[in-house]
Amino acid sequence: MENANTARALASSSARGQRAENGRAGEEYQKALKAHHLKRKAWLVLIHAALIAWVLVSVYPLLRIFSVSLRPGDRIVSTDLSLIPAGASFLSYWKVLYETNFLFWLWNSLIITCATATIGVSLAALAGYAFSRFKFPGHKTGLTLLLGNEMIPAAMLLLPLFLMIMKLGLVNTYLGMIIAYSVTSLPFSIWILKGYYDTIPKSLEEAALVDGTTRFGAFLRIILPLSTPALAIAFLFNFTQAWNEYLVARVVLTDARMYTWTLGLFELQGQYLTQWGMFAAASILVTLPVLGVFLYSSKWLISGLTLGGVKG
Amino acid sequence: MASVTLRGITKRYKDTEVLHDVSLDIADREFMILVGPSGCGKSTLLRMVAGLEEISEGEIVIDGKIVNHLPPRDREIAMVFQDYALYPHMSVEENMSFGLRLRKLPKDEIARRVGEAANILQIKPLLKRTPRQISGGQRQRVAIGRAIVRKPKVFLFDEPLSNLDAKLREEMRIEIAKLHQRLHTTIVYVTHDQVEAMTLGSRIAVVNVGRIQQAGTPEEVFCRPANLFVAGFIGSPTMNFIDGTLLDEGDGPRFKNEVMSVRIPLPLDAQAPRAPEGGKPRSVVLGIRPDDIYAKPPEPADGPDLIPAVIEVVELLGHRKNLHLKAGETKLLATVDAAFAGKPGEKVSVWFNASRVHLFDKDAQERISLEGRRFPR
């Protein structure tokens, strides 16, 4: 009986000890966990602070221009730091839209840019496919030349490009601009698309060929739908390049009615007086189409569409 | 339903010839397996039948028609790829109906065929999902389904099971065997797995270094391998090969080397010298499968036909045991009953089932015994 009691007492005391031990270990674990969480939080705060600072630096100029566009008169320099200045009005916007050829310029830019992007991407999509899938004489040389072409500064291409366009009688035409633009951005698009096609397994096209398509059919039905992220990137690249281009436009377009907005904007800059308010307003307005295109195409940029079709 | 004939097929990439004058007749409704190690040219051969690879020389005939210059879509074939090759941007249903839609079949016919195939392969609940949302085994079923709905003359399978895990592979193997029984179509099936080859094929073509080494039923290939390569490639565990010479000392042909003298009760082909007749005895390789080697504890009364050996390693497989033996310098693998009591380091006496011995010429590597053992035992 006594033995049993002793055993029970021993057992209960050892259980208490165990619990205490467990408690201690638990506390330590909790402490470590807390420290870990704190560390994580500190990191997050740090990263976010850096990101916010970066955003401020990036957005500040835009906000300044917005602020200038709202100022009455044409003051670019001001001691006023407020975003919305005293006496703010949309007068500059109204003036840009109705007292200048701004809408004309925008229209010209839009036509040239959309045509450039569409033609450029279509050509690059086909050329990239050829470079990705076929072996032909000049395959490697072609790719190297395309890359080399990218390294020539735009200013160097200016004269030959102008001479060519002049000889073709395409000065002051949309077509001249479209050719000049799509040709210059083609190499980059081809490289991007070729690189993307290379990641798409050949067996997908082969399956389509066996299923009953032609080579071109397989390209249209299988490869193109799978390449939307790369196509979107190439399109955006072409679009922004053509939209913001100034140098070539300056040389090829001499008729004020054919001006793109980049040329037009400088019309507002007189020799003695620059209409900074209108300049700023126009600058804000021209970002809107690009912004729209970017927002719209962001849904096509989701990559990883090819996942799961073949063994990953 | 169609036969496939390969006549003198040669494939060259620039200066390298990867297939040399390959000829093979595949009968209507036959399940033909092309088996061989990786890089032997078997997949290239299949892709040439599919029209995905150009033919450098020779002719491919499907259903009596030379198809050398026909694009894949006009060859009335369907192919299942190693990596499944499902179109990622289409649902399972769209994947399966893709070929039918291209051929502009009526909608209700397409729906009927897809439904039928989905039933056979038990993938009906997956029809609306995309390839990304289903498992590897299911993807393989869909890939097979995509081939079935087309009702092609010939099915081509390019290592369809090699991406699946062992258990799934076994399941799918049985499914494919059932499918062949059900559809009764000509199938050409490429694999590097000799178990798949033995279990699925109505005939096997063993391919190595761009040549068909032997084509025959699984029994023929297993029991009468045409050369050393086939003997070593087919069968698991692999056949034992022992170097020696072929002699005739009056009691019929004997295989001899420093540790053994084995009487060969098989008829040899005309070229095999029964006696050295003054010249050098013929160098040969004796092949014996691990299952055809027997072992027992040594006794003083053991005759000269028994080979003394030492057990090096014993591996228990369950109902069988692998004995790794050493007889002189020769290593042997014997598969014996699990009840065998020998331990590593112990001496044993070993003998061969003489009627199941294979003999190969050492230089030509070709089989010299005309008749092998009969199958099954």
Of B233, B249, B279, the residue that ends a domain is: B233
Please write the tens of the pLDDT for every residue from B333-342: 999 999 998 8
Same domain, B250 and B349: yes
Question: pLDDT by residue (tens digit) across A26-42?
Answer: 888 999 999 999 999 99
CA atoms within 13 A on the CB side of A256: 8
- Please compute the mean of the pLDDT values over residues A88-117 and round it to a whole number: 90
State the pLDDT confidence band at A256, using cuts at 50, 70 and 90: confident
Give residue B102's pLDDT.
Answer: 94
- Are B164 and B209 in a shared domain? yes
Instruction: Answer yes or no: do B202 and B305 share one domain.
Output: no
Mean pLDDT across the stretch B213-231? 94
Do B200 and B245 lie in a common domain? Answer: no
**Does B140 map to a domain?**
yes
Q: Give the end of a domain, one of B233, B263, B296.
A: B233
Compare CB distances from A222 to B83, B87, B130 and report the shortest one's residue: B87
The average confidence (pLDDT) of chain B is 89
Distance CA A266, CA A100 (A): 12
- Encoded amino acid at B74, one letter: D
Interchain contact, A310 vs B84, CB within 8 Å? yes
Encode chain B in three state secondary structure: CCCEEEEEEEEEECCEEEEEEEEEEECCCCEEEEECCCCCCHHHHHHHHHCCCCCCEEEEEECCEECCCCCHHHCCEEEECCCCCCCCCCCHHHHHHHHHHHCCCCHHHHHHHHHHHHHHHCCHHHCCCCHHHCCHHHHHHHHHHHHHCCCCCEEEEECCCCCCCHHHHHHHHHHHHHHHHHHCCEEEEEECCHHHHHHHCCEEEEEECCEEEEEECHHHHHHCCCEHHHHHHCCCCCCEEEEEEEEECCCCEEEECCCCEEECCCCECCCCCCCCCCCCCEEEEEEECHHHEEEECCCCCCCCCCEEEEEEEEEECCCEEEEEEEECCEEEEEEEECCCCCCCCCEEEEEECHHHCEEEECCCCEECECCCCCCCC
A209 in reach of chain B (CB within 8 A): yes
The yes-or-no verdict on residue A308 having pLDDT over 60 is no
Q: What is the CATH number of the domain that holds B29?
A: 3.40.50.300
Of B190, B213, B233, which one is at a domain's C-terminal end? B233
* Same-domain status, B158 and B269: no
Residue B148's closest chain A neighbor by CA?
Answer: A211
What CATH number belongs to A92-301?
A: 1.10.3720.10
Domain harbouring B244, CATH code: 2.40.50.140
Quote the number of domains for chain B.
2
What digits encode the pLDDT tens for the residues B84-140? 999 999 999 999 999 999 999 999 999 999 999 999 999 999 999 999 999 988 999
> What's the domain range around B205?
4-233
Tally Cβ neighbours within 10 Å of residue B170: 15
pLDDT value of position A304: 42
Cβ-contact A243, A285 below 8 angstroms = no
pLDDT digits (tens, 9 = 90+) for B234-271: 998 999 999 998 887 767 778 888 888 888 876 655 44
Whether residues B84 and B221 share a domain: the answer is yes
Question: Average pLDDT in the A151-162 region?
Answer: 86
| SS3 state at A121 | helix
pLDDT at B375: 38
The verdict on B32 and B154 lying in the same domain is yes
Please name the residue that has the structure tokens 């004995």. B323
pTM, to two decimals: 0.80
Q: Where in chain A are the domains? A: 1-89, 92-301
* CA of A233 vs chain B CAs: smallest distance (Å): 19
B 96-125 residues with CB below 8 A of A? 98-99, 102-103
Whether A310 and B51 lie within 8 Å, measured CB to CB: no
Lowest mean pLDDT among A256-260, B8-12, B72-76: A256-260
Q: Which residue of A has its CA nearest to B103?
A: A212
Give per-residue pLDDT as tens, B157-197.
999 998 888 888 998 899 899 999 988 899 999 999 988 99
Q: How confident is the model at residue A201 (pLDDT cuts 50, 70, 90)?
A: very high
How much is the pLDDT for B201?
A: 92
